[in-house]
Amino acid sequence: MNLSRGAAWTLARRGLDWRFKGLRLLLVCLVLGTAALSAIGTLTGAIERELATRGREMLGADVEFTLAARTPAREERAAIAALGDVSEGARLQAMASVPGEQTRTTPIELKAVDAKWPLYGRFTLSDGTVARAPAGLTAWIAPGVADRLGVKVGDSLKVGEAVLKVGGVIGSEPDRMAEGFSLGPTVIVGTAALDASRLVQPGSMVRSKLRVKLPPGADPVALGDGIKERFPLAGYEVRTREKASPGLDRFVSRMGQFLVLVALAALAIAGIGIGNGVNSYLEARRSSIATLKILGASSGDIARIFLLQLAAASSLAILAGLVVGISVTPLLGRALQGLLPIEPGFVFDAGALAIAAAYGALIALTFAAPPLVRARSFPAMALMRARVSPLAGGWRGAVLPVALGLGGIAALAVLTAPQKLLAAGFLGGAAALFLLLSALGWGVQRLAAKVPRPKGAIARMALANLHRPGAQTSALVVALGFGLSAFVLLAGVQTSLDGNIAQRVPNKAPDYFVLDLPRSRVGEFDAIVRAAAPGAEIRKVPALRGSIVAYGPQGAMTRVADLKQLPDNAWPLRGDRGLTYADEVPQGNVLTAGTWWAKDYAGEPLVSVDDDLGKALDLKLGDRIAVSILGVERSAKIASFRRIDWENMGFNYVLVFSPNAIADAPHNLAATVSLPEGAKTPEVRRAILGGLVKALPSSSVIESGRCWGRRARSWARWARRSLRRRALRCFRGWRCWPARSLRRANARPMTMSSCACWGRAAGSFWYC
């Protein structure tokens, strides 16, 4: 007979135990898996939407123009002002101290804003007051400054040469997220205070920002590109509201994708549990199935009845999983608030929930198919005899539904992934591991069957349990093997990274990094350090900023502005970066081709290029590289290529020029100080820090040891995140240059170890 749908549903409903006895494993697996997938999808979607819709508030503008190491020229300023309402500001690294107490200092991120700031969003102080730019010599300070210096509202704070009055503690800064990582807590001042600090000098590492509020309907991308085309040598970095924080955008998307795949792998393992649960459930109903068959139910009827039961249970489990996923999102959002842009409260993302539900349904159906197919295919008598004569075979009928189900899961995972190759690679790896473990399970069963029977009854039964018909050995090996291997893999990678960071960084990191050291004050700097620690090792390098504007053979140079897409691994072409000049091959660098220029070389300007960049751009000796420094294009001939040891904790630069090429541009120095072991005492540190802060108010002194104590854990966390991100990038490319990719992360900054390095790699750093 062929039961009608109604009759099948009536029988299914009657047979379904609404306490779900026998199906609880299926329910638990599905609820957990769907909850994880829906929470990840909902959260990722919510963050991405926030990034997309709040781009204007996050950027504080429709379009933002940033210039390194100089303020905009009059013509540039006028052109940008013609676009709309402009708010001008600056951002730079500085030191804040309590006046009269040179040892109470902290590195800060000084943010100067004008009266129009913020163009979008709301700036509030910690007491809830809505505020704008501080007037005169008043400063808004981040809570971190108040904590580190022990200052409160009304107290004084010295920044550069200005003594500022703390007017309030920052509560909410609308454009904080788009500013990226900062080396220290923020201090917001007005333009008058910035002028009074005298920190902006020729050569100082200031980033000037022009934020523009465009009239309605204006296209920020087109207008931004227009300014870049009009001033190709100016070196403007343009960001628009659509991509207020491109790095964060990428990170969220990739991390979301990665987490979805991990949750999917977990759900696939749970699928084995689902299959076993369904098997047990149908096993317990074998008599009912046999009776129905004897009464005339066809195999199709049996399948329909139990499929309806499983579908009902799975639907409830998936629904519960979705509810749990939606419910935990506000908790996750609260935990991530401040780190990622996410509005508190419940988020309902229909797309993410539909995908999670689809995954849940596919997993349930795929893994429930084999026992269902077996149940429908055996005749009634075979089912009746099953307890004494276990059912064998019956797997062929399950091949098609299982293959379709797995294909559906793979298709869904790949089609919904922003990085399809990564998703496919992940699924391929998981499938390979599944196959390996399945083979092992099968091998264990075969081995157990062939091993001579032990004499002891318990040992004999134990051995038989591994290979008897219906033994769960294979399923156990696959599920447990997969799960435990994943645990070991994650623990191994994480502890190794921790070990590398703990072993390498503190040993190699200098004790101090000094930024914006005026060339005219080098003698004073040396004297202060040497007086406190005579054996200290001091390294100084010229520090300039500039952007690569063209490269290639003379007469046929490629203009970077004309490139639609940057070549792979040509990251130095993006934005401005650190430039330097030197008489000798920098420490930790090895020439791979060409020769170094002689001391006091005075011929044609030369440049030595990072070997990796040379390969990425297909550069040859004798080719040229043109850079824009402070809006002036300078071209140099490639004299050599260098292999850079990015992990040498020193100053590393992709481009090192001969002194005659760029030394005439206004610039300061950067320096590191490494103390001898015996000099790493609080007294010596106080003398150095106090002396430098007092004598060189415009320089920033970063005490890496102190940073280590405070930040080691957060660096390690950041490093792991960074590595994961790069791993994803590597998987995406299938032809990654992992070391290069990683070194790039480490190397943008001057060192792998400093606060500056790790932190700034996430955003953009001066020295790279």
Kindly tell me which of 250 and 729 has the beta carbon lying closer to another protein: 729
Give the span between the Cα atoms of 594 and 450, in whole angstroms. 68
Tell me the HSE value of 502 on the side-chain side, using a 13 A CA sphere.
7
Kindly tell me which of 47 and 742 has the beta carbon lying closer to another protein: 742
Q: Quote the least distance from Cβ 273 to another protein, whole Å.
A: 10
| Residue 653 φ then ψ, to 5° | -130, 140
Q: Quote the least distance from Cβ 360 to another protein, whole Å.
A: 21
Q: What is the DSSP string of 24-84?
A: HHHHHHHHHHHHHHHHHHHHHHHHHHHHHHSHHHHHTSSEEEEEESSPPPHHHHHHHHTTS
Kindly tell me which of 470 and 499 has the beta carbon lying closer to another protein: 499
Residues 6+ apart with CB under 8 A from 142: 169, 170, 185, 186, 187
Our CA dihedral for 328, 332, 335, 339, rounded to 10 degrees, sits at: -160
Kindly tell me which of 419 and 473 has the beta carbon lying closer to another protein: 473
Q: Quote the least distance from Cβ 505 to another protein, whole Å.
A: 12
Q: Which residues bind another protein (CB under 8 A)?
A: 387, 433, 440, 444, 458-459, 462-463, 465-466, 473, 476-477, 480-481, 483-493, 495-500, 503, 723, 727, 730, 736, 738-739, 742
Kindly tell me which of 532 and 723 has the beta carbon lying closer to another protein: 723
Give the span between the Cα atoms of 231 and 10, in whole angstroms. 76
699 in Cβ contact with 514 (< 8 Å)? yes
Kindly tell me which of 337 and 495 has the beta carbon lying closer to another protein: 495
Q: Quote the least distance from Cβ 481 to another protein, whole Å.
A: 5
Report in angstroms the alpha-carbon separations of 358 from 318, 322, 350, 355, 412. 9, 11, 12, 5, 8
Give the span between the Cα atoms of 264 and 239, in whole angstroms. 35
Kindly tell me which of 49 and 729 has the beta carbon lying closer to another protein: 729
Q: Quote the least distance from Cβ 398 to another protein, whole Å.
A: 25
768 in Cβ contact with 743 (< 8 Å)? no
Kindly tell me which of 354 and 739 has the beta carbon lying closer to another protein: 739
Give the span between the Cα atoms of 25 and 32, in whole angstroms. 11
Residue 311 sits at the vertex; the CA angle it makes with 310 and 316, to the nearest 5 degrees, is: 100
Q: Quote the least distance from Cβ 272 to another protein, whole Å.
A: 13
Give residue for tokens 């004569």. Answer: 389
Give the span between the Cα atoms of 465 and 143, in whole angstroms. 64
Q: Quote the least distance from Cβ 619 to another protein, whole Å.
A: 24
Q: Quote the least distance from Cβ 448 to another protein, whole Å.
A: 8
Kindly tell me which of 287 and 554 has the beta carbon lying closer to another protein: 287
Report in angstroms the alpha-carbon separations of 242 from 157, 172, 219, 349. 37, 22, 10, 21
Q: Quote the least distance from Cβ 708 to another protein, whole Å.
A: 18
96 in Cβ contact with 158 (< 8 Å)? yes
Q: Quote the least distance from Cβ 651 to another protein, whole Å.
A: 21
Which of 416, 703, 670, 714 has the alpha carbon at shortest distance from 543?
Answer: 670
The β-bridge partners of 609 are: 641, 655
Kindly tell me which of 241 and 726 has the beta carbon lying closer to another protein: 726
Which of 578, 504, 569 has the alpha carbon at shortest distance from 748?
Answer: 578
Kindly tell me which of 205 and 263 has the beta carbon lying closer to another protein: 263
Residues 6+ apart with CB under 8 A from 295: none
Q: Quote the least distance from Cβ 742 to another protein, whole Å.
A: 6
